[in-house]
Chain A
């Protein structure tokens, strides 16, 4: 798998910049994003939105532990998510998959009483390090949730633009960025004629793709997807899986899923978690065909969970 070697060159200084709280985002971020966006839009939308390859960061968890009050939900995990790959996290309900993923963009700490220990490295920057701005972390690491959650008071356009407006980033080229994000999420053709109608009026699958577009609009380098298809029908699921396939050309993706077929379809690598611990991680094929741990085998063959 060659992409494992990729990040060293391109992304070296990118997270560094993203995570500096005092950097003026308008000039540097805007210009940089502008270049990429322009590149994107010049490519035929349907054909290949991923012709411009951007190298996402590698994510490394080192001794990650997460707590709700005194209950330890994630019990010391070391795990590497290679750049520009899709890594699926599987495991039974309550095993800490979501919690672990929410530690990567520091959403875990938004829950009262919740805290995390250990290190989460984007390339070599610890998102829990001192002086790291939480907001910058979340701009760099986007997230898509289980249930589509469009902002109910906003139109389709405003929903997608929300990330930009909420973060006061790139106001100038809003129109452009919204279109690109919607194209990136494969939704443009379906909604381009009704951008001003309410976002909640879309179907569930469209709403979820709109939420993906909303995340993409802020131009993240990592996308965390927490069971993004569990509320969707198979056709909508398929569209999102195709989308994941395209997105990984430019970002690193972590997807939590209950659906093992889905993991097998979209993920380059799969990690199996049980009771807050990482049991096994490896190339998806191996996890599903010749896992080294008997618990993994039992789980993927449906003997429990």
Chain B
């Protein structure tokens, strides 16, 4: 490549062409546009949630059960107490089932089973499960535990459906995080003469804790927001109920019910319930992050 003899600028030979500059600007513009487009629905969701949801909030809203009446406006339709408590209880039970099992599976896959054909098979099925529509989990529980046993809806069956839904999410996210823990850490702990299980509990898990927490929260949030698995597993009731063997109300179900109502006040209650659900998940997130920060040194 010949350099023009009279180049005033020593760097002229290395100059970036106009066309490249234009392409670069264009590509950057497209990326920014994509980001902005993605933000639009997000912002709108938050905006409408706050606008419509806050209007429905009141002390009564949180402290009374829905009355089931849709013919009178105002407070006579009741609040969403049973739905909040039902969601908390069912999701808590589902988490208690899915999180330990899920983390256990992920640990086994990463720390022990890694190259075996069985691990590959498990991983494959977990991937399949991740893609299964949530209503299928509900159907499965319905067929197995309600039709199969000839019994009726119950909170625990809703929990089981939710835990099935959470399981692949917990496994997959924890597995990815565990794989990120540098092998050098495991090696140096093993080289100190530590038994494998102790390496896992003292070195691998603490290192991966924050990341795993994020995955777990994702699963909890997803379960808390699902209606489909609860439709024909937990049933629906207006009353506050702590008994897992009985019908149980939940926020998503309540929203689903209310939003189809012709009465404005009831539809507004759905907005309030939706805002409540989002707020609950937000609070859970914040708490978990604080806990994680405290337990992590680095």
Contact = CB atoms under 8 A, between A and B. Distances in A.
Partners in one complex: yes
Interface of A: 105, 107, 110, 112-113, 135-140, 142-143, 145, 147, 149, 151-155, 162-163, 165-168, 198, 200, 211, 214-215, 218
B232 to A, nearest CB: 45
Contacts of A140: 193
B184 A145 contact: yes
B193 A218 contact: yes
B89 to A, nearest CB: 33
Contacts of B298: 152-153, 198, 200
A142 B190 CA distance: 10
B114 A162 contact: no
Contact of B187 (A142, A145, A166): A145
Contacts of B114: 112
11 contacts: A110-B190, A135-B193, A149-B182, A149-B184, A149-B185, A151-B185, A162-B202, A163-B192, A166-B203, A167-B198, A198-B297
Contact of B115 (A113, A147, A149, A200): A113
Nearest to A165: B202
A214 B190 contact: no
B123 to A, nearest CB: 15
B206 interface: yes
Given A149-B184, A198-B298, A142 B194 contact: no
- Of the listed residues A105, A112, A142, A167, the one surrounded by the most CB atoms of chain B closer than 10 A to its CB is A167
Interface of B: 114-115, 182, 184-195, 198-199, 202-203, 206-207, 209, 296-298
A239 B191 CA distance: 23
Given A107-B191, A138-B190, A218-B193, A166 B115 contact: no
Contacts of A136: 193
A145 B188 contact: yes
Contacts of A105: 191
A152 B188 CA distance: 12
Contact of A135 (B184, B188, B194, B209): B194
Given A112-B114, A153-B207, A200-B298, A167 B188 contact: no
A105 B209 CA distance: 30
Contacts of B203: 151, 153, 162, 166
Chain B interface helix/strand/loop/mixed: helix
A139 B193 contact: yes
Given A143-B188, A151-B207, 18 more contacts: A107-B190, A110-B187, A112-B115, A138-B193, A139-B193, A140-B193, A147-B184, A149-B188, A151-B185, A152-B207, A153-B206, A154-B206, A154-B297, A163-B194, A166-B194, A166-B199, A168-B198, A214-B188
A302 to B, nearest CB: 31
B189 A151 contact: yes
Contacts of A139: 192-193
Given A153-B296, A218-B192, A166 B202 contact: yes
- Of the listed residues B115, B190, B207, the one surrounded by the most CB atoms of chain A closer than 10 A to its CB is B190
Nearest to B191: A143
Contacts of B115: 112-113
Given A112-B115, A152-B207, A153-B296, A167 B184 contact: no
A217 to B, nearest CB: 8
A145 B186 CA distance: 12
Contacts of B185: 149, 151-152
A105 B297 CA distance: 31
Nearest to B195: A135
A284 B297 CA distance: 44
B288 to A, nearest CB: 17
B207 A162 contact: no
Contacts of A163: 192-194
Nearest to B202: A166
- Of the listed residues B114, B195, B297, the one surrounded by the most CB atoms of chain A closer than 10 A to its CB is B297
B209 to A, nearest CB: 8
Given A113-B115, A166-B202, A107 B187 contact: yes
Contacts of A113: 115
Given A142-B192, A167-B194, A155 B184 contact: no
B187 A162 contact: no
B249 to A, nearest CB: 41
Contacts of B184: 145, 147, 149
Contacts of A153: 203, 206-207, 209, 296-298
Contact of A166 (B198, B206, B296, B297): B198
Contacts of A168: 198
B191 A142 contact: yes
Given A149-B182, A153-B298, A162 B193 contact: no
A152 to B, nearest CB: 5
B75 to A, nearest CB: 51
Contact of B192 (A154, A155, A167, A198): A167
